[in-house]
Amino acid sequence: MDIDTLNRRFGRPPAVTFANSPLGGPVVTLAIDGGHVMASLIGGQVLSWVAHGRERLWLSPSARLDTGKPVRGGVPVCWPWFGPHPVDAQKPAHGFVRTRIWEVAEVAGDAASPSVTLSYPTDDADLLIWPHECEARLTVTLCESAALELSLATENCGLVPMHVTAALHTYFRVADIARVRLEGLENRIFIDKLSAGARKVEPGAVRFAGEVDRIYLGDTDRIRLVDEAAGAAIEITSAGSRSAVVWNPWSAKAARLGDMGSPGAYREMVCIESANAGDDIVTVLPGDRHTLRASYRIG
């Protein structure tokens, strides 16, 4: 649909509006007093979350929606697999929906708590890389105090069970990664992807002094991101998940990635991902649905 049609069918200005973004693609914006959130219809990806006058997500300065490549930053949707494909490394990392056009399925809520649901039903071409008829539905809701709630539902529309991993790959903006700590993962087992998948135990709050790439397992439903340099904190809660991914590329890896935007950009971000990853593999039976949820509140 073109933007005018989307606004006629689904728009509820000023709470819900559609526009062509300067980044090169169609976006939907939810707005309430105290904040707004913007999501792209390409990839079903949240690009911006402003709460209490501050941008809370990191987006690469080089981000473009119209290149056919995944956008780094915001909240990419990793689906229906997380990371490399489990048996075929030639298939795209983090699944295939990050560059697809998503449909607007529904707009709901009221002016105080608007929401939009974007859907991606697999098509015949997708069956060549993922042999399951299924649908992903991302619901984005802006709540009281500009809290952001996300839910990623996976529905199995086929005739056989399917095994899914997924993530809401959230890039949070921070003032200085060296002065960030994560609370709530103490004593949790994690898979250290920088140590050949070795399993370790987190002794205390997570801090950053170099590259970090970890999958925390088990009870990871409450994490507190404390940005000491900015004097701010974000409470992260999740459901439908028994794993959480924590990632920062640090300087050498960031330079190799090529799409971070500047050499020091890694200092301004940290990924904390509500996920089904590692041992947390979800089986979705025919006709059933699994929902991964994440909620972000300032506090």
CATH of residue 173: 2.70.98.10
Model confidence pTM above 0.95: yes
Q: Which residues make Cβ contacts (< 8 Å) with residue 111, sequence separation at least 6?
A: 12, 15, 32
Q: In 3-state terms, what secondary structure has residue 208?
A: coil
User: Which active-site residues does the annotation give?
Assistant: 169, 273
Residue 185 phi/psi, 5-degree rounding, is -110, 10
List alpha helices for 249-293, DSSP H. 250-257
Burial (CB < 10 A; 0-12, 13-18, 19+), residue 160, is exposed
Residue 172 has which token pair? 């949070």
Q: How far apart are CA 30 and CA 112, in angstroms?
A: 10
Q: Does the CA dihedral 210-215-218-220 come out positive or negative?
A: positive
- Domain extent at residue 33: 3-298
Tokens encoding 118 = 């974007």
Q: Which residues pair with 120 in a beta bridge?
A: 136
Per-residue pLDDT of the chain (299 residues; tens, 9 = 90+): 799 999 999 999 999 999 999 999 999 999 999 999 999 999 999 999 999 999 999 999 999 999 999 999 999 999 999 999 988 989 999 999 999 999 999 999 999 999 999 999 999 999 999 999 999 999 999 999 999 999 999 999 999 999 999 999 999 999 999 999 999 999 999 999 999 999 999 999 999 999 999 999 999 999 999 999 999 999 999 999 999 999 999 999 999 999 999 999 999 999 999 999 999 999 999 999 999 999 999 98
H or E element, residue 199? strand 198-201
Reading the block at residue 215, the tokens are 């999958």
Q: What contacts 12, CB < 8 A, 6 or more positions away?
A: 107, 111, 114
Q: Which helix (H) or strand (E) holds 4?
A: helix 3-10
Residue 212's pLDDT is 98
Looking at the 3D structure of the chain, how many domains does it have? 1
Res 89: pLDDT? 87
Residue 113 CA from chain centroid, whole number: 20
